[in-house]
């Protein structure tokens, strides 16, 4: 791994290594407080975030490193029209590692073409959010001992929800996973994602109470207003599934209730006191997982940036792909866009 654009950029061996490092840091954080002294993280957030941005900042600070960057592009040269390429080249010249959140799919892949240091995708539009998946897997393994054989219910926005897609794709690498999918019909898991789920046994169940009667994990997701083209559709679908103590009452006593957060009503506050509610602990594990990841990436030897040679032409159909706003990006022949991975129609 040189850059972390998609969770699958981590090999099996790297996942094992990062997990073990996570455990060491979680149990002995004081031992790591100077680990990245003198090193810096460039935090480039082109759209709002609390959790991911602050999680990375806290992680780097607790390793003794420093953080600089922007979280409001209006207050930076970006408002003077600077390209993503130039911003990435410049900041990677100042830092040891870069995190990038961007509203357009493919932005992290684009950044990785120009950065002289490792790039971590902190979320690129509706495409990937690999450190959320890392957080999720670390939580599952920490609280269950192992990810193998888990029965996972995923509920909410399975159509646009990048965290749901990424989690399922990552779980596909483990043995014996069963997934129960709960969503409105309009928001069901798309075929192209099902194809990436490998050997996972997928079932669909419209009723949440029934679905969680016999699973190990309930993973709730938020409908993200910002991903819906049609606001009326968002309004119509958003309240469909809400987890309440009543619905939870029929679930196994050792169920893990997870949520990437922020939540917007799909888990009632009344659930927070239930010992099965682990979403806040999940966020905390995420900070330690990011510490392990930063330690790993900051210890890679330096590498030379090799500018990609364009090979043919690919006209991406995705209106929110990074190639629409950064026209200098080299494009490549193929049925799928190299950046946002969307298949052409």
Instruction: Write out the binding residues for a copy of itself, residues 3-62 only, by CB under 8 A.
Output: 29-30, 33-34, 37-38, 40, 42, 45, 48-51, 53-55, 57-58, 61-62
Work out which of 90, 172, 197, 202 binds a copy of itself, going by CB under 8 A. 90
CB neighbour burial string for 174-206, b if at least 16 within 10 angstroms, e if fewer: beebbbbbbbbeebbbeeebeeebeebeeeebe
CB 314 within 8 A of CB 331: yes
Torsion angle of C-alpha atoms 342, 286, 290, 153, degrees rounded to 10: -30
Q: How many residues bind a copy of itself (CB under 8 A)?
A: 63
Q: Please give the DSSP secondary-structure letter assigned to residue 190.
A: P
Residue 272 in contact with a copy of itself, rule: CB under 8 A: yes
Q: Is 143 in the site for a copy of itself (CB under 8 A)?
A: no
The CA angle 99-48-98, to the nearest 5 degrees, is 10
262, 310, 317, 334: which one binds a copy of itself (CB under 8 A): 262
| Contact mark string toward a copy of itself, 177..216, x via CB under 8 A | ----------------------------------------
In angstroms, what is the minimal distance from the CB of 82 to a copy of itself? 4
Token pair, residue 185, equals 């019909």
Site for a copy of itself in 297-316 (CB under 8 A): 307
The DSSP code sequence of 259-310 is --S--SSSB-GGGTTSTTB-HHHHHHHHHHHHHHHHHHHHTSPP----PPPP
263 binds a copy of itself, rule: CB under 8 A: yes
Q: Tokens at residue 167, please?
A: 């989690």
What is the torsion angle, in degrees rounded to the nearest 10, for the CA atoms of residue 37, residue 39, residue 44 and residue 50?
-10
Which of 287, 292, 297, 321 is in the footprint of a copy of itself by CB under 8 A? 287
Residues that bind a copy of itself (CB under 8 A): 29-30, 33-34, 37-38, 40, 42, 45, 48-51, 53-55, 57-58, 61-62, 64-72, 74-83, 85-87, 89-91, 93-95, 225, 261-264, 269, 272-273, 280-281, 283-284, 287, 307, 328
């Amino acid at each position: 791994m040189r850059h972390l654009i998609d969770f699958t950029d981590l090999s099996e061996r790297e996942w094992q290594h990062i997990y073990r490092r996570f455990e060491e840091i979680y149990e002995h954080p004081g031992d790591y407080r100077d680990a990245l002294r003198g090193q810096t993280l460039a935090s480039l957030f082109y759209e709002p975030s609390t959790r991911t941005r602050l999680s990375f900042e806290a992680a780097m600070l607790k390793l003794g490193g420093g953080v600089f960057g922007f979280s409001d592009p209006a207050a930076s040269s970006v408002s003077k029209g600077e390209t993503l390429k130039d911003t990435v080249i410049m900041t990677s010249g100042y830092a040891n590692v870069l995190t990038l959140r961007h509203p357009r799919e493919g932005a992290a892949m684009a950044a990785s073409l120009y950065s002289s240091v490792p790039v971590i995708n902190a979320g690129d539009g509706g495409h990937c959010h690999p450190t959320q998946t890392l957080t999720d897997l670390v939580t599952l393994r920490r609280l269950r001992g192992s990810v193998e054989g888990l029965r996972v219910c995923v509920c909410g926005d399975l159509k646009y929800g990048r965290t749901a897609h990424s989690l399922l794709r990552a779980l596909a690498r483990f043995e014996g996973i069963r997934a129960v999918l709960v969503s409105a019909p309009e928001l069901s898991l798309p075929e192209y994602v099902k194809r990436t789920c490998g050997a996972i046994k997928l079932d669909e169940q419209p009723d949440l109470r029934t679905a969680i009667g016999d699973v190990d994990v309930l993973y709730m997701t938020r409908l993200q207003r910002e991903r819906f083209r049609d606001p009326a559709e968002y309004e119509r679908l958003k309240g469909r599934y809400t987890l309440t103590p009543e619905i939870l009452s029929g679930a196994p006593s050792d169920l893990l209730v997870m949520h990437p957060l922020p939540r917007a009503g799909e888990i009632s506050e009344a659930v927070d006191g239930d010992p099965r509610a682990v979403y806040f602990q999940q966020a905390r594990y995420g900070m330690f997982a990011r510490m392990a990841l930063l330690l790993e990436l900051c210890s890679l030897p330096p590498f030379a940036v090799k500018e990609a040679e364009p090979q043919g032409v690919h006209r991406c159909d995705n209106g929110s792909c990074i190639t629409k706003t950064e026209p200098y990006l080299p494009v490549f022949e193929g049925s799928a866009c190299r950046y946002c991975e969307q298949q052409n129609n």
